[in-house]
Amino acid sequence: MEGDISEKLLAGTENTEVEEVRFREKLWTETKTMWVVAGPAIFTRFSTFGVTVISQAFAGHIGATELAAYSLCFTVLLRFGNGVLLGMASALETLCGQAFGAKQYHMLGIYLQRSWLVLFMTAFCLLPLYIFATPLLIALGQDEKIAEVAGYVSNWFIFVVFSFIVSFTCQMFLQAQSKNMIIAYLAAFSIGIHIFLSWLLAMKLNFGLTGAMLSTVLAYWLPNIGQILFVTCGGCKDTWKGFSMLAFKDLWPVVKLSLSSGAMLCLELWYNTILVLLTGNLKNAQVAIDALAICLNINGWEMMISLGFLAAASVRVSNELGRGSSKAAKFSIMTTTLTSLAIGFVLFVLFLILRGRLAYIFTESEEVASAVADLSPLLACSILLNSVQPVLSGVAVGAGWQGIVAWVNIASYYLVGIPIGVVLGYVLDMEVKGVWIGMLLGTLLQTVVLVVITWKTDWDKQVILARTRVNKWFVPESKEESSNTENGA
């Protein structure tokens, strides 16, 4: 009897050890797969965001008005366009990721072309915002002198907005296949060229703001040329079968998914835009805008890490749902979220220690640097929240929940966060701090709601929904090839 008990205990111990080994192997495999997407995505976003921050740094050294104008234009107008186009493009992230998981490889190229059409029409509709930026900003209560310079900057940003069409769609197309190293190489090349040209044109040749903006436009377009060549010239033989008239078919379902995707991401990205607009109406607006813009840029650097994990969560969840594995999708969510949270906590502590020292990268004003130091605790809290919230948004994109999350964002941000921020900032005279605290509370509420939704989701049902979606829009490859033949003829 004792021998039987001993054998059972040993067998139980062996089974536990085997399970632990399997779990470690599974965790290691998932972590490697996640970083294949997240690593290049983080670097690419760092580089792309770095282009704008470098331009802002040069604008700051040209003059305080130029810095305020550039910051206002970037944070309000460019972020608006970025939010719309990135949101609309995230529909492609859902479709390509799930189609790739379902091994419908040739459909990725068709989805890419459909997304190009939708985003081009959207960008064209956004043009008036950039053409009439000065009167628009004055109407929103911004300083007239700053608004005039911002209007000049916004005309240059038209070229940047159209660059987003190629940039976002090609990145999502390549990420779905875990082929995004090429994007990282192109981004590294671009930011190197941008640093040199900004110094040469803005400082050495004294072209000022014009030189900085010319360099910015070139820095956004150079990687796009490389991505297009990679996609169309043999880098994606299985997923790019050439241009096709099938891109014009089933456009309306893509538009609807793109609109819900756009609503979801726009509501998030515009949140900070409203924060800047509210700040522009406070006392000593120039110092307040400069300090807040610097904080948001530092926050933005950290956000690039979180957006890399957003991409990883989206790709991994969509691939696994398309493949039909709900367990793998859930395990990927857990791994990505915990990894991002750990990095966010380290940065939270770091920025609490550094406080306002980083402000001198962007400005020479001690008054602005002091204001940044005062806002640093709020900045650190934003960084911690940003390590979780974008990952959950990535899960939503991968699963195709954009419409649901859009409603969550409306409730959390616009019915809770902004009203509390207005009361604290204006009624209780807490100014920038009060507005930001309100916004943080909205973000916290949104994060909690997304955690609950993700936790309670029936992932087996999500597999069925993903399969239904990819099969609904599936076009047999033979029909695609015949269409290309007809086009060639």
pLDDT tens, position by position, 30-49: 888 888 888 888 888 888 77
State the burial class of residue 68 (Cβ atoms within 10 Å of its Cβ: 0-12, 13-18, 19+).
buried
3-state secondary structure of 417: helix
Residue range 253-264, pLDDT digits in tens: 777 777 776 666
Q: Identify residue 304 by its one-letter amino acid code.
A: M
Binned at pLDDT 50, 70 and 90, residue 162 comes out as: very high
Binned at pLDDT 50, 70 and 90, residue 488 comes out as: very low
What is the pLDDT, as a whole number, of residue 484?
47
State the distance between the two ends of the chain, measured CA to CA, in whole angstroms: 83
The H-assigned helical ranges of 176-325 are 181-198, 208-230, 251-279, 285-323
Name 226's Cβ contacts closer than 8 Å, sequence gap at least 6.
182, 186, 189
- What's the rounded mean pLDDT across residues 143-158? 85
* Distance separating alpha carbons of residues 462 and 321, to the nearest angstrom: 7
The mean predicted confidence, pLDDT, of the chain is 80
Least confident of 9-23, 185-199, 240-254, 402-416: 9-23
Q: Kindly list the distances between the CA atom of residue 352 and the CA atoms of 18, 292, 301, 340, 378, in Å, as whole numbers in the listed order.
A: 43, 16, 16, 18, 9
Binned at pLDDT 50, 70 and 90, residue 363 comes out as: low
Binned at pLDDT 50, 70 and 90, residue 401 comes out as: confident
- What's the rounded mean pLDDT across residues 149-169? 89
Question: How far is CA 94 from its chain centroid?
Answer: 14
Residue range 87-144, pLDDT digits in tens: 788 778 888 888 888 888 888 888 899 889 889 988 999 999 898 888 888 887 777 8
Q: DSSP letter at 411?
A: I
- What's the rounded mean pLDDT across residues 438-458? 88
Residue range 306-360, pLDDT digits in tens: 888 888 888 888 888 888 888 888 888 999 999 999 988 988 888 788 776 777 7
Tell me what percent of the chain is helix, strand and coil, each rounded to the nearest 5.
90, 0, 10
pLDDT at 20 over 80: no
pLDDT at 423 over 60: yes
For the chain, percent of residues with pLDDT exceeding 70: 85
pLDDT at 489 over 50: no
The first and second tokens of residue 29, run together, are 């495999």
Greater confidence, 289 or 385? 385
